[in-house]
Amino acid sequence: MSDLGEAIRLYREALELRPAPHPDRSSSLINLANALLMRFAQIGTMSNIEQAIQLFQEALELTPTSHARRHYALYGLGRSLFSLFRLPASEIDIEEVVDLLQEALALRPTHHPLRGQTLPFLADDALEARFNLKGMAEDREEAVRLRAELAELRKKIEISEVGNNTFRHMHTLLHFFLS
């Protein structure tokens, strides 16, 4: 059995240990759904993506709008639906995908560590797809704005990493000379 297959098996077991109305059931649903989405991306089995969508939907239903972790279910469902949208003869509504991802992004404000994960998926995939379908200039403008925000975010991360590396290097030198 592959590592991913083993992870899915274990996530299924964990889900069984958290029947409704267990307060952490939504986390188990999301973990299993993410693993199934990953397996769909690897081997393309429709049952994996269909089950992932159902699990993300259930997690969303269990998670109140005020819940701090709701963004995980929104983002996962948006990604899953977009994966289906990209298939030939898909009947997935790109509007729903964009709405889910925009709601997830709203719950991942500027300082949120996962905002950088949502930005490119919304800008480069969902908004671009909707622009290609409907030709709405606002989608292209929003995608450009989100890409600029992502570039700024990446710049801050790079600066932070340079600072951390410099600190580590100085610490190593200091330790070397004081030893």
Domains of the chain: 3-177 (1.25.40.10)
pTM recorded for the entire structure: 0.86
Q: How far is CA 164 from CA 159, 168, 170, in A?
A: 9, 6, 10
Confidence grade of residue 159 (pLDDT, cut at 50, 70, 90): low
CB–CB of 41/51 below 8 Å?
no
Longest dimension (CA), the chain: 68
Span 95-136, pLDDT tens digits: 999 999 999 999 999 989 999 999 999 999 999 999 999 999
Q: Is 30 exposed, middle or buried (0-12, 13-18, 19+ CB in 10 A)?
A: buried
